């Protein structure tokens, strides 16, 4: 993996925020440093970020994630601006320019918009700019209802013909059973998404984020069918990205045979 040039990194809400919903600034700064350093090595880096709704909740004092779609859109509108402001500040400390790209399903599945999106990404990367991607939650109701940034990051990796997708979350990887059990074992490598693997994954929701292992398995299926490797790793330590690229046994690697 040390030779991989184009890398997509997805970071979840639980990694970006404290349990209160407030941003974990120390972790975001460390993530920005690691990604900037990788870009300095000549790699193409794309960051897919969750957290807009969660940050909006923290800003406006919501303790529980609402179910009303219009309210979710409003929270996303508040949180997205705050999130980008922090990212721009953090990345600028390390000499990196970032750009915001908000994507809907049409940008992925409609040919003309797909091509336009790909051209924009490539031009940004050509100039050494790090694209920061999120779903356009403020207007795309379907994305809020059924969309998930794990799956979105897989489609972005496929769109860009990336070498690797790294999903950073609050878990160490895929276990053979629910990790609440003491005898649960981490699966270090998966080469095929079969019914057994699908059976392990169960959807789960947190107060701030959405999805769970089920959506990560869906993402892995998309990347593997496209010949792209994917790793699920714990985002509490952004330096795990270095270890992954050095080939160390970190998290769960999904790689086509």
> Could you tell me the CATH number of the domain that includes residue 23?
3.40.1160.10
**Is position 74 within any domain?**
yes
**Is position 174 within any domain?**
yes
From first to last of its 257 residues, the chain has per-residue pLDDT tens of 788 999 999 998 889 888 777 789 999 999 999 999 999 999 999 999 988 888 888 888 888 888 888 888 898 889 898 899 999 999 999 999 999 999 888 888 888 888 999 999 999 999 999 999 998 866 666 544 446 889 999 999 999 999 999 999 988 999 988 788 888 899 999 998 888 888 876 544 444 444 478 889 999 999 999 999 999 999 999 999 999 999 998 999 999 87
Residue 215 annotated as part of some ligand binding site: yes
Residues 55 and 178: their CA atoms lie apart, in Å, by: 28
pLDDT of residue 205: 46
Residue 113 annotated as part of some ligand binding site: no
pTM across the whole model: 0.90
Residue 33 annotated as part of some ligand binding site: no
Residue 212 annotated as part of some ligand binding site: yes
**Is position 1 within any domain?**
no
**Is position 246 within any domain?**
yes
Q: Which secondary structure element, helix H or strand E, spans residue 25, and what is its range?
A: helix 25-40
pLDDT of residue 147: 64
Residue 90 annotated as part of some ligand binding site: no
- Give me the domain span that covers residue 73: 6-254
Residue 57 annotated as part of some ligand binding site: no
**Is position 164 within any domain?**
yes
pLDDT of residue 146: 43
Residue 95 annotated as part of some ligand binding site: no
Residue 89 annotated as part of some ligand binding site: no
Look-up of token digits 């880096």? 45
95: left (phi over 0), alpha (psi -120 to 50) or beta: left
pLDDT of residue 20: 72
pLDDT of residue 64: 83
Domain count, the chain: 1
**Is position 85 within any domain?**
yes
**Is position 211 within any domain?**
yes
Residue 10 annotated as part of some ligand binding site: yes
Residue 169 annotated as part of some ligand binding site: yes
Q: Name the nearest CA neighbour of 5 among 99, 122, 107, 91.
A: 122
Residue 170 annotated as part of some ligand binding site: yes
Look-up of token digits 């981490």? 186
- Give the count of alpha carbons within 13 A of 142, CB side only: 5
Q: How far is CA 7 from the centre of its chain?
A: 11
pLDDT digits (tens, 9 = 90+) for 134-147: 988 666 665 444 46
pLDDT of residue 162: 96
Look-up of token digits 């460390």? 30
**Is position 175 within any domain?**
yes
């Amino acid at each position: 993996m040390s030779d991989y040039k184009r890398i997509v990194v997805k970071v979840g809400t639980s990694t970006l925020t404290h349990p209160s919903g407030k941003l974990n600034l120390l972790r975001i700064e460390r993530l920005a440093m690691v990604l900037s350093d990788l870009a300095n090595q000549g790699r193409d880096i794309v960051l897919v970020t969750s957290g807009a709704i969660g940050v909006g909740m923290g800003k406006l004092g919501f303790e529980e994630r609402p179910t009303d779609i219009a309210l979710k859109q409003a929270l996303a509108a508040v949180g997205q601006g705050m999130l980008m402001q922090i990212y721009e500040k953090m990345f600028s400390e390390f000499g990196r320019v970032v750009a915001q790209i908000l994507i809907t399903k049409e940008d992925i599945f409609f040919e003309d918009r797909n091509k336009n999106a790909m051209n924009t990404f490539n031009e940004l990367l050509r100039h050494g700019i790090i694209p920061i991607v999120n779903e356009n939650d403020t207007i795309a109701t379907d994305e809020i209802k059924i969309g998930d940034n794990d799956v979105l990051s897989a489609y972005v990796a496929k769109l860009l013909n990336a070498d690797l997708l790294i999903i950073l979350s609050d878990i160490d990887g895929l276990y053979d059973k629910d990790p609440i059990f003491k005898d649960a074992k981490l699966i270090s490598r998966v080469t095929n998404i079969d019914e057994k693997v699908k059976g392990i994954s169960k959807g789960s929701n947190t107060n701030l984020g959405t999805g769970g292992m089920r959506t990560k398995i869906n993402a892995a299926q998309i990347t593997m069918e496209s010949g792209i490797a994917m790793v699920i790793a714990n985002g509490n330590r952004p330096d795990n990205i270095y270890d992954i690229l050095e080939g160390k046994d970190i998290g769960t690697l999904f790689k086509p045979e």
